[in-house]
């Protein structure tokens, strides 16, 4: 097991017990929803936001590595550029959600007089997240306000796509440039996701030392 999966298991077991009365009421026809302003919402749904974002990063890894959809309505060069931009945007979202989650837990536990635990285990994760993701976030950030992200490989794919639409002699050049960009980005995202999962392991190993008490989730 890992810090990330261990924390996920902790959240799932805790949430299943917390939500049981609500589910039973639903089955009886009594519709009740948990308040959006509770420790449960902060702890559990904050984790699911992070988990969903990481799953999106892994989906990008898969989609970049396989053949694009066979549809005349989708240009392959635009498709791969869309995937890369979506991936970079999700990296930025992940960083923001990691920082937001740690900040909310920090404040929650400090209010309960658990400042020493926060200082030891939550405060250090902010710098770790920053140092781990800043390179990718800055790659995305330097382009987002002016235009979509691109690079030499993606630019070459777009150029060959345009030419090949009007000159069939360039069809093979276009296919080659697409495969090259696909291979480079597939490898890059795979490597980045592996590093990101290690980041999540370290992050949640640290967070769990504050959140988990006597085998269960501490409720402030």
Per residue of the chain (220 residues), give pLDDT as tens: 599 999 999 999 998 888 765 655 556 555 566 566 688 999 999 999 999 999 999 999 999 999 999 888 889 989 999 999 999 999 999 999 999 999 999 999 999 999 999 999 999 999 999 998 887 766 654 444 446 677 888 888 888 888 988 988 888 998 999 999 999 999 999 999 999 999 999 999 999 999 999 989 998 7
* In-domain check, residue 211: yes
Q: Which domain holds residue 84?
A: 3-148+189-217
* In-domain check, residue 161: no
* In-domain check, residue 77: yes
* In-domain check, residue 30: yes
CA–CA distances in Å: residue 49 to residues 9, 79, 81, 97:
15, 26, 25, 7
* In-domain check, residue 117: yes
**Residue 110 neighbours by CB under 8 Å, 6+ apart:** 118
CA gap 50, 188 in Å, rounded:
21
Q: Do 182 and 188 touch, CB atoms closer than 8 A?
A: no
Q: Do 79 and 96 touch, CB atoms closer than 8 A?
A: no
Write b or e for each residue in 42-72: b if 16 or more Cβ atoms lie within 10 A of its Cβ, otherwise e.
Answer: bbbebbebbbebbebbeebbebbeeebeeee
CA torsion angle for 4, 6, 8, 12 (degrees, to 10)?
Answer: 180
If one counts every other C-beta atom within 10 angstroms of the C-beta of residue 128, the result is 15
* In-domain check, residue 119: yes
If one counts every other C-beta atom within 10 angstroms of the C-beta of residue 94, the result is 24
DSSP 8-state symbol, 153: H
* In-domain check, residue 158: no
Q: Do 193 and 57 touch, CB atoms closer than 8 A?
A: yes
* In-domain check, residue 153: no
Number of domains in the chain: 1
For the entire predicted model, the pTM comes to 0.86
**Residue 44 neighbours by CB under 8 Å, 6+ apart:** 11, 14, 15, 18
Q: Do 64 and 80 touch, CB atoms closer than 8 A?
A: yes
């Amino acid at each position: 097991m890992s810090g990330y999966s261990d924390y996920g298991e902790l959240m799932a077991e805790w949430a299943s017990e917390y939500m049981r009365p609500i589910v039973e009421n639903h089955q009886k026809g009594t519709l009740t929803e948990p308040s959006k302003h509770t420790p449960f919402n902060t702890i559990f749904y904050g984790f699911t936001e992070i988990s969903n974002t990481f799953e999106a990063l892994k989906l990008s890894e898969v989609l970049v590595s396989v053949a694009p959809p066979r549809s005349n309505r989708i240009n392959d060069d635009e498709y791969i550029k869309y995937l890369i931009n979506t991936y970079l945007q999700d990296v930025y979202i992940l960083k923001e959600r990691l920082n937001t989650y740690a900040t909310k837990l920090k404040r929650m536990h400090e209010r309960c007089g658990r400042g020493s635990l926060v200082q030891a285990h939550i405060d250090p994760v902010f710098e770790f997240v920053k140092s781990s993701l800043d390179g990718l976030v800055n790659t995305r950030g330097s382009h987002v306000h002016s235009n979509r992200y691109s690079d030499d490989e993606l630019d070459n794919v777009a150029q060959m796509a345009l030419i090949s639409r009007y000159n069939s002699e360039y069809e093979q050049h276009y296919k080659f440039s697409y495969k090259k960009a696909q291979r480079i980005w597939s490898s890059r995202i795979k490597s980045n996701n592996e590093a990101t999962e290690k980041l999540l392991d370290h992050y949640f190993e640290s967070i769990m030392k504050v959140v988990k008490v006597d085998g269960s989730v501490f409720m402030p």
